[in-house]
Chains A and B, each alone.
Chain A
Amino acid sequence: MSAIAETVHRSQARSRARIDGWRWGGRVFLVFMLLYTALPMIWMLITSIKSGFAAMQFPPQWWPDQPTLASYQKLLDPQNSVGQDFLRFFWNSLFVSSATTILSVIVAVPAAYAFSRFTFPGRNFLFFAVLLRNMFPAVIFLVPLFILMRAIGLVNTHGSLVLTYLTFGLPLAIWLLKGFYDNIPVQLEQAARIDGATRFQAFFLIVMPLSAPGIIATAIYSFIGAWNEYIYAYTFLSKNEQLTLPVGIQRFFSENTTDFPGLMAASFMMSVPVVVLFLVLQRYFVRALTEGAVKH
Chain B
Amino acid sequence: MTILTGKAEARRRLQPDRLGVLRKIWEHRADYAYVLPAIAVMLIVIAYPIYYTIELSFFNTPPGLQLRDKIFVGIDNYTAILTSPVFWKVTSNTLIWTLGSTLISFVLGFACALALHRDFVGRGILRAILIIPWVISAVAASYIWKWIYHSDFGIIGAVLVGLGLTDRPPNFIDSVSTVLPSLIVVNIWREFPFAMIMMMAGLQTVPDQLLRAAKVDGANAWQRFWHVTFPHLRNVSTVTILLLAVANFNSFIIPWIMTGGGPSNASHIWITHIYELAFGRQRWGVASAYSVLLFLILMSLGYFYVRALSGNEQRGGGE
Query: Which residues of A are at the interface with B, using a C-beta cutoff of 8 A?
Result: 15, 18-19, 22-23, 26-27, 29-30, 33-34, 36-38, 40-41, 43-44, 47, 55-60, 106-108, 110-111, 113-115, 118, 120-122, 126, 128-148, 163-164, 166-167, 170, 174, 199, 224, 227-228, 230-231, 235, 245-246, 249-250, 253, 260, 263-264, 267-268, 270-271, 274-275, 278-279, 282, 286-287, 289-290, 293-296
Contact = CB atoms under 8 A, between A and B. Distances in A.
Contacts of B140: 44, 246, 249, 267-268, 270-271
B280 to A, nearest CB: 11
Contacts of A22: 221-222
A108 B38 contact: yes
Nearest to A220: B135
Interface of B: 21, 24-25, 28, 30-35, 37-39, 41-42, 44-46, 48-50, 52-53, 56, 65, 67, 108, 111-112, 114-116, 118, 126, 128-133, 135-141, 143-145, 147-148, 150, 152-153, 155, 158, 161-162, 169, 189, 192-193, 197-198, 200-202, 204-205, 220-222, 235-236, 239-240, 246, 249-250, 252-253, 257, 271, 274-275, 278-279, 284, 287-288, 291, 294-295, 298-299, 301-302, 305-306, 309, 312-313, 315-317, 319
B197 A289 contact: yes
A227 B137 contact: yes
Contacts of B155: 43, 60
Q: A interface, by DSSP: helix, strand, loop or mixed?
A: helix
A170 to B, nearest CB: 6
Contacts of B67: 147
B142 to A, nearest CB: 9
A132 B302 contact: yes
Contact of A250 (B136, B257, B278): B257
A235 B279 contact: yes
A59 B240 CA distance: 41
Given A115-B35, A170-B38, A290 B197 contact: yes
A167 B41 CA distance: 7
Contacts of A250: 139, 257
A37 B130 contact: yes
Given A111-B38, A166-B45, A286-B201, A263 B143 contact: yes
B100 to A, nearest CB: 16
A143 B53 contact: yes
A107 B39 CA distance: 10
B143 A264 contact: yes
Contacts of B41: 107, 163, 166-167, 170
